[in-house]
Structure 1
Amino acid sequence: MPSTVIADMAYDPETQTLSVWFRPSGRRYDYFEVPAVEYDALRLSPSKGRYFNAHIRDSYPFTQSDRAEPRPRLQPHVAAR
């Protein structure tokens, strides 16, 4: 997942929460009500930063974490088709 903007991301399909860690700060933002198909499209996009800015950043409610936190290692989610 090489990206100059996004360091890492994780998705919880039960809560539809997308967590994104940004470079270089390491800050985490949690985006809510993100459908699994949207996460899959972000994950598979050749430009994660461009996709994120166009489809997620201003489209879903979010919170910013107070500090950089360790990133969890979650399995990628692939939506059923």
Structure 2
Amino acid sequence: MNRTPVSSSNLKSVGYDQSSNTLEIEFHGGRVYQYYNVPKRIYQGLMAASSHGRYHHRRIKDSYRYSRIR
């Protein structure tokens, strides 16, 4: 999945696959997680947020099933 770099002290890049509603986040340090069944509006909100890390923590982290892929 292609990811877009973001300006964040916690997140390095973010990608989204609309066909499967999968959100992929790479963190500084190399960890990559995929979050499943994430609506496009949540991805758009993450990308538009003034703080990507805070948005992730409040709206994504404990709200969607995920797995670490790297």
Same fold, TM-score > 0.5, yes or no: yes
Aligned partner of 1:42 in structure 2 is 46
Q: Distance in 1 between matches of 2:56 and 2:31?
A: 15
Q: What is the match of residue 14 of structure 1?
A: 19
Unaligned runs of 5+ in 2: 1-5
Unpaired runs of 5+ in structure 1? 68-81
| Equivalent-residue separation in structure 1 for 2:14 and 2:7 (angstroms) | 11
Higher helix share: 2
Q: Structure 1-normalised TM-score? A: 0.78
For 1:26 and 1:8, the matched residues in 2 are separated by 10
Choose between structure 1 and 2: higher strand proportion: 2
Runs of 4+ in 1 over 4 A off after TM superposition: none
User: Percent identity over the alignment?
Assistant: 35
Of structures 1 and 2, the one with the larger relative CO (CA 8 A, separation 6+) is 1
C-alpha offsets along residues 38-78 of structure 1, whole Å, 9 cap, x if unaligned?
Answer: 0000000010000000000000000001x3xxxxxxxxxxx
